[in-house]
Amino acid sequence: MLQEEQDHDERAAGLRERVGDTPLVRLRRLTAHLPEGVEIWAKCEWFNPGGSVKDRAAAWILEAAMASGELRPGRRLLDASSGNTGIAYAWLAARLGVEVTLCLPSNANAERKRMLAAYGVELVLTDPLEGSDGAILRARELARDTDRYLYLDQYSNEANWRAHYESTGPEILAQTQGRVTHFVATLGTSGTFTGTGRFLKPHGVRLVSVQPDSPFHGLEGLKHMESAIVPAIYDPDLADLELGAPTEESLELVRRLPREEGLLAGISSGAAVWAALRVASTLEQGVIVVMLPDGGARYLSEPHVWEAP
């Protein structure tokens, strides 16, 4: 087959077909103290090909860019990311033969940087003190060169939340046979919460969003909305309940998940499970679904997680 025909096949096959359908796993030991009628189920997003929930958003964002004709040969993909979106763009772009430039705070952990480098991503490292907002501001500057860059802007891109409206939401409804009563998700761009929430709300599901409880939190991938650039796609009216997760208690759950549930999950998953347990403690009956955005293998070198008392 000619290279051109192969490329065409890759695009026609649909990027979205390659992501999602992740397992939903019941938490048993962490929930042993709860009434029998209260269940917590964890959606394990590291089973996506790029290892995180962000594969969904990236696939939808890139499909939309292809459909609109903005993704032209020679134009590099550009965005700001704390890492997972960058990795998602990276593997999808490699399949499409497109280059990626990523603005990333320089204190992103070594695994992230090495992984991105392995995929050939050009990294623009930004001031760690400015956090993810510093990376966003740098990406906005670079984006002015529209011949060189296609700025995907996951924080404002409607395809981000649509990915979850069209994939995560329906999966959760099907995997619980419609039994889901509460949905719990952490906020970064808010794409996961907004898209899944908009799909599940009309089915009577109560929506719980989780942010760090303070601006200086160490919960990688998450935004403290009050002190950060608020994503354009964030819908402040959607949540039925907003919870602020404390860092230490979240990290404790990151350590307990592999030992007690066999789930080596990432740091933000600790915050998500903290919130799910909090909600569960108020119920007599309920089926809570909680998003675990990525896996723990990405954070094993983080001393604040694994070398804690």
- For residues 26 to 65, the per-residue mask of contacts with ligand PMP, x marking binding by CB under 6 A and - elsewhere, is --------------------------xxx-----------
126 part of the interface to ligand PMP, by CB under 6 A: no
Distances (CA, A) of 222 to 11, 161, 256: 31, 16, 20
Is 31 or 84 the residue whose CB approaches ligand PMP more closely? Answer: 84
CB 157 within 8 A of CB 233: yes
Coil, helix or strand at residue 153: coil
Q: Which listed residue (31, 167, 186, 250) binds ligand PMP by CB under 6 A?
A: 186
- For residues 68 to 87, the per-residue mask of contacts with ligand PMP, x marking binding by CB under 6 A and - elsewhere, is --------------x-x---
Q: How far is the CB of 132 from ligand PMP (least distance, A)?
A: 8
268 part of the interface to ligand PMP, by CB under 6 A: yes
Cβ neighbours of residue 241 closer than 8 Å, sequence gap 6 or more: 206, 207, 208, 209, 279
Q: Which listed residue (189, 211, 247, 250) binds ligand PMP by CB under 6 A?
A: 189
Q: How far is the CB of 126 from ligand PMP (least distance, A)?
A: 15
| C-alpha atoms less than 13 angstroms from C-alpha of 126 in its C-beta half-sphere | 24
Supply the Cα-derived Rg of the chain in whole angstroms.
19
- The residue with tokens 């296609």 is 150
Residue 99 DSSP symbol = -
Is 187 or 276 the residue whose CB approaches ligand PMP more closely? Answer: 187
- The residue with tokens 């940087």 is 113
190 part of the interface to ligand PMP, by CB under 6 A: yes
Q: Which residues bind ligand PMP (CB under 6 A)?
A: 52-54, 82, 84, 186-193, 220-222, 266, 268, 293-294
